[in-house]
């Protein structure tokens, strides 16, 4: 049983939940702080559950749909489905179960979250088809993750607000930028198999330049959210670290040297999201 659980967590790269979950917590604690209420642990667990179930469904479906491409690509040939660790049928069942759990948990939160849950599933599952259609696939992926701050805020308040939307826009441009960097690894493969990506369309050098521009938009929304919230010093310190880590990942990736893409993609962005969330949440209570 333990080995099976490990296989499925590897299938969906469970550790990458760290990219969006801290921003969901920002949306959650922002709503709690604005309502001057205590922290409802049961609701917090439901929000975290929604995040985990939605991401499991999205990643599992992506692995299921891309299994033939993954098998043909030397970089991904040892992923769980092409390697025979998880069968395609079991992967699809995993996707269905997590999609149902996401819908049920949304229903337990409030009516608005439940009514919007099919829209969220459409975006996060639909992403898996987009690389076959458009080089803008990176922005569809980021749109799915960008739902995290808004969704968590809605879970508490049941209504939209400007600040969580700004955080969602930050996630949108942040994720788009680093996904463009990550896709640089597969330029030749994508071109050979007629898969779409910005690096395959523009080439690595221009794609990396575009990722810089996209991340500059992320910086704009970091600053905008702080201004709207009249944030205190912890927010601005966290923002400085976050922006510094964005700059760092661009400094270590070169068009002719992609050897540190995983360091930029996983480690740097994981640290950036956690540190930023900790300082932002602290700023809600240390004004």
* Lowest mean per-residue pLDDT among 60-64, 180-184, 264-268: 264-268
What tokens does 56 get? 């499991």
Q: What is the mean pLDDT of the segment spanning 211-224? A: 98
Q: What is the pLDDT of residue 2?
A: 64
Please tell me the predicted confidence (pLDDT) of residue 109. 96
Beta bridge partners of 208: none
* Mean predicted confidence (pLDDT) in 213-220: 98
Long-range contacts made by residues 205-212, C-beta under 8 angstroms, separation at least 24?
205/255, 207/180, 207/181, 207/183, 208/180, 208/181, 208/184, 208/250, 208/253, 208/255, 210/180, 211/177, 211/178, 211/180, 211/181, 211/250, 212/177, 212/250
Instruction: Kindly tell me if the per-residue pLDDT of 19 is higher than 90.
Output: no
Give the range of the structural domain holding residue 183, as residue numbers without chain letter.
2-285
According to the model, what pLDDT value does residue 96 have? 97
What's the average model confidence in pLDDT over 68-76? 95
Q: What is the pLDDT of residue 282?
A: 96
pLDDT beyond 70 at 182: yes
Helix segments in the chain, DSSP class H: 2-11, 21-34, 41-65, 67-72, 88-109, 111-130, 137-145, 147-157, 162-183, 187-192, 198-202, 204-228, 233-252, 261-262, 269-285
Quote the pLDDT of residue 66: 96
Domain count along the chain: 1
For residue 246, how far is the Cα from the chain centroid? 15
Q: What is the DSSP letter of 253?
A: -
Spatial distance between the Cα atoms of 84 and 110, rounded to a whole number of angstroms = 40
CATH code where residue 204 lies? 1.10.357.140
pLDDT, greater one: 114 or 268: 114
pLDDT tens readout for residues 143-152: 999 999 999 9
Mean pLDDT, residues 76-93 taken together: 95
Per the prediction, the chain carries an average pLDDT of 93
pLDDT over 90 percentage in the chain = 85
pLDDT band of 62, cuts 50, 70, 90: very high
What is the average per-residue pLDDT within 246-271? 88
Q: Which two tokens stand for residue 94?
A: 């995993």
Confidence of residue 16 (pLDDT cuts 50, 70, 90): confident
- The yes-or-no verdict on residue 8 having pLDDT over 80 is yes
pLDDT of residue 1: 67
pLDDT digits (tens, 9 = 90+) for 36-58: 778 899 999 999 999 999 999 99
Q: What is the mean pLDDT of residues 225-248?
A: 96
Contact assessment for residue 95 and residue 64, using Cβ atoms and an 8 Å cutoff:
yes
In this predicted structure, what is the pLDDT of residue 4?
79
H-assigned helices in 136-232: 137-145, 147-157, 162-183, 187-192, 198-202, 204-228
Give me the percent of the chain exceeding a pLDDT of 70: 99
Q: 10 Å Cβ neighbour count for 99?
A: 22
Q: Is the pLDDT of residue 262 over 90?
A: no
249 confidence band (pLDDT: 50, 70, 90): very high
Which tokens sit at 255? 């068009």
Tokens of 246: 């964005």
Q: What is the DSSP letter of 257?
A: B
Q: Give the model's pLDDT for residue 68.
A: 96
C-alpha–C-alpha distance, residues 116 and 103, integer Å: 9
267 pLDDT higher than 90? no
Tokens at 25, concatenated: 């917590």
């Amino acid at each position: 049983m333990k080995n099976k659980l490990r296989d499925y967590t590897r299938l969906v790269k469970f550790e990458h939940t760290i990219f969006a979950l801290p921003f969901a917590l920002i949306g959650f604690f922002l709503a709690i702080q604005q309502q001057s209420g205590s922290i409802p642990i049961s609701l917090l667990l439901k929000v975290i559950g929604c995040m985990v179930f939605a991401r499991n469904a999205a990643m599992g479906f992506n692995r299921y749909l891309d299994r033939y491409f993954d098998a043909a690509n030397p970089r991904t040939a040892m992923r769980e489905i092409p390697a025979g660790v998880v069968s395609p049928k079991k992967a699809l069942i995993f996707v269905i179960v997590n999609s149902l759990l996401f819908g049920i948990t949304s229903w337990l939160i409030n009516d608005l979250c439940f009514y919007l849950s099919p829209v969220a599933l459409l975006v996060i599952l639909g992403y898996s088809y987009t690389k076959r259609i458009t080089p803008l696939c990176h922005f569809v992926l980021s749109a799915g993750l960008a739902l995290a701050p808004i969704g968590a805020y809605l879970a508490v308040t049941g209504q939209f607000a400007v600040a969580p939307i700004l955080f969602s826009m930050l996630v949108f441009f942040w994720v788009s930028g680093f996904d463009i960097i990550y896709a640089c690894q597969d330029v030749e493969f994508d071109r050979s198999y007629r898969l779409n990506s910005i690096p395959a369309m523009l080439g690595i050098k221009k794609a990396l330049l575009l990722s810089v521009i996209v991340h500059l938009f992320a910086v704009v929304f970091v600053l905008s959210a702080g201004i709207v919230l009249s944030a205190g010093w912890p927010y601005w310190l966290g923002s400085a670290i976050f922006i510094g880590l964005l700059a760092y990942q661009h400094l270590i990736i070169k068009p002719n040297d992609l050897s540190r893409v995983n360091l930029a993609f996983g480690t740097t962005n994981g640290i950036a999201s956690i540190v930023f969330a900790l300082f932002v949440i602290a700023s809600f209570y240390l004004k």
